[in-house]
Amino acid sequence: MSETLRLFIAIEVPANLKAAFRQYQPAFTHAAVRFLPDENLHLTVHFMGEVPTGQLTEIEQRLKEVAATQMPFNLTLHCLEPGPKPKSPRLIWARFGPEPAFARLGAAVFRQLGIRPPDHADSIPHVTLARFRKDMPRPISLSVIYPPEPPLTMPVTTVALWQSELKSPHPVYRVLAEFPLSPAEKLNPPE
């Protein structure tokens, strides 16, 4: 049996957004809510799962090729809320508004890696901030928070390949490789 790595493709959350998310934690305080450590905050593009280590170099090359075809963009924070299903939430997430560039990045990743795209719910750009403990009753009514104006934005200038090691109480995540998105002038050189 070959050795595997638990991998996912994600966007790193900048420090200023991590600090903003921390400010809103008191609104979600409940015994069943377990906040993720700041170092684990990320915005998933695609969770790959267990992948043979022999495929790592090829995956990195394909992600480099994807990044070279995508321009940097911004995501705008919509709200912090229980989700993904409002009537039966299992986590607290920071949900960003729809962004065509994020959808294009995801589509390019799926196409380049030969992966079937996920259903609609998985394509909502979000950062998981907390999970509900399975051994406790879920909170019944938690707030939805709409951050004040001006809206908070998350610049997306790179995409990264991450490794997840399952540990207790939280998994340990680390970036294996990061790939800068191409500036517009590289994709559309002047004539």
Residue 169: pLDDT band (50, 70, 90) is: confident
User: What is the pairing mode between strands 73-83 and 91-96?
Assistant: antiparallel
Residue with tokens 């905050």: 41
Question: 79-125, pLDDT tens digit by residue?
Answer: 999 988 878 889 999 999 999 999 999 999 999 999 887 765 457 89
What are the tokens at 15? 């420090």
Our answer to whether residue 78 is catalytic in this structure is no
Question: 41-55, pLDDT tens digit by residue?
Answer: 999 999 999 999 999
Our answer to whether residue 46 is catalytic in this structure is no
Residue 191: pLDDT band (50, 70, 90) is: low
Confirm if 132 and 34 have CB atoms less than 8 A apart: yes
Confidence (pLDDT) at 1: 40
Question: What domains lie within the chain, and their CATH numbers?
Answer: 4-181 (3.90.1140.10)
